[in-house]
């Protein structure tokens, strides 16, 4: 799996097509989760509402927690402590416009819900019960991210236009 020319969104699409998580797919997942922090921070920086931005930044912090769980899962899979290479630690470019429209938020909610479903499918195919547990935990939190994104959208919709 080559990830050199992928951005955040194309990497996400490539990962969604994976039916099972081998180590290269898990490394892609690790990199994508790390990049999720950048994605949510970039959104928060562009929406002009502190309350909604706080929700998005919390999602970003949790994406880093997901990356740490994926790193643990890779260690379990390999049977030795896994340290990501410089290439795996490199974050994806996040191609976002300077101004974020509210129409992006339903897609974010859907992507997070789909992320939960993907994690659950991978966990169902996982032979190591601890790796499966880590995947399921990440998945459940993806649903929480979708719920927070929906709440951020509601806050933005209720805010007076500036």
Annotate 25-67 with DSSP letters as a single string: HHHHHHHHHHHHHHHHHHHHHHH--HHHHHHHHHHHHHHHHHH
Encoded tokens for 117: 């479903």
Tens digits of residue pLDDT in 3-37: 667 999 999 999 999 988 999 999 999 999 999 99
* Number of Cβ atoms within 10 Å of the Cβ of 75: 14
Q: Quote the pLDDT of residue 2.
A: 54
Q: Is 80 helix (H, G, I), strand (E, B) or coil?
A: coil
Please report the sign of the dihedral spanned by the C-alpha atoms of residue 91, residue 97, residue 98, residue 99: negative
Tens digits of residue pLDDT in 96-113: 998 899 999 999 999 999
Class of domain 8-157: mainly alpha
| Contacts (Cβ under 8 Å, ≥6 apart) of 126 | 21, 132, 135
pTM: 0.93
Residue 78: is it exposed, middle or buried by C-beta count within 10 angstroms (0-12/13-18/19+)? exposed
């Amino acid at each position: 799996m080559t990830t050199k020319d992928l951005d955040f969104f194309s990497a996400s699409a490539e990962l969604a097509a994976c039916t099972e998580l081998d180590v290269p797919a898990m490394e892609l997942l690790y990199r994508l989760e790390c990049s999720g922090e950048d994605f949510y921070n970039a959104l928060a920086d562009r929406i002009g509402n502190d309350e909604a931005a706080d929700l998005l930044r919390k999602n970003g912090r949790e994406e880093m927690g997901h990356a740490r769980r994926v790193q643990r899962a890779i260690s379990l899979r390999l049977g030795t402590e896994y340290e990501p290479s410089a290439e795996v630690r490199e974050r994806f470019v996040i191609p976002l416009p300077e101004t974020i429209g509210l129409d992006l938020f339903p897609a974010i909610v859907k992507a997070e819900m789909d992320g939960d479903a993907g994690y659950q499918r991978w966990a169902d195919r996982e032979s190591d019960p601890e790796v499966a547990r880590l995947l399921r935990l990440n998945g459940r939190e993806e649903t929480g991210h979708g719920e927070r994104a929906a709440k951020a959208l509601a806050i933005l919709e209720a805010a007076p236009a500036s």
